[in-house]
Amino acid sequence: MRVVILKNAEQISCRAADVFGQLIQARPAAVLGLATGGTPLGTYRELIRRYRAGEISFSQVTTFNLDEYVGLPRDHSQSYHTFMHENLFSQADFDTDNCHLPDGSCVDPAQAGVDYEQKIAAAGGIDLQLLGIGTDGHIAFNEPGSSLASRTRLKALTEQTRSDNARFFESIDEVPRLAITMGIGSILDTQRIVLLANGAGKADAVQALVEGPVTAQVPASALQLHPHVTILLDEAAATKLSRIDYYRHVETLQRQLETKKVSDTFL
């Protein structure tokens, strides 16, 4: 797990966009896992800027989003379909036929989860997954207590998650109680993961993710089991980490290795 501590959310967004950009340049038909909410917006804006500058194209990529509310029509202002269309897909050259989200308005949510897993498998799996983290340590809508082997399925949202998301609705009463979400096992199947966290409100969850035990009570802690995870944090989100100086030291060495400034004695 690579822990990268940056100054602010803008630096986080640029670093995440670098990772996506490098993958797409190397593999134009990459399969991307995407997230919603306030945390990834800066990354999406930076990717759009790079597209408009002619630095990147999304015309061949395939995307899969982590989750969708159950019970909201696709054109609802707070559906994740609407979020992705307004904040990313319509702003660049995505082929929307290749942009997938779980179907929150389906008649049979259990079958919808199976179908979504099959679509991901048919695409060859996800090359790079973008994640945020909830204040209680959830990833996607995998709430505390979720099975670490879970696949895409129907999930009941906790009151904490509904409260956190209520700012996007007129009242908490309008926040859906159910969602279809990729499971923790689904996320662990991806080739590479980048998780973003900013703000002091995420500090406890980040500490549990990076330094706590692997437990279903902190779903994000399962990322410790993945071989290629990068955690991008701002200063505030990193404040509870007990080994913060070590993470900074390791990142300095890692950046030197990447720019080939470390002598062979370190290799």
Beta bridge partners of 64: 33, 100
**Type of residue numbered 12:** I
In whole angstroms, give the CA distance from residue 243 to residue 28: 37
Do 181 and 147 form a contact (C-beta atoms < 8 A)? no
CA distance 156 to 149: 17
How many helices (H) and strands (E) would you count in the chain?
8, 10
Give the closest residue to 46 by CA, choosing from 4, 88, 78, 100.
Answer: 88
C-alpha distance from residue 257 to each of 14, 215, 220, 231, 252 (Å): 20, 33, 28, 18, 9
b/e map of 224-238 (b: 16 or more CB within 10 Å)? eebeebbbbbbebbb
Contact 83, 36 (CB under 8 A): yes
Enumerate the active-site residues: 67, 136, 138, 143
Cα–chain center distance at 51: 20
Instruction: Give me the DSSP letters along 179-223.
Output: EEE--HHHHHTSSEEEEEE-SGGGHHHHHHHHHS--BTTBGGGGG
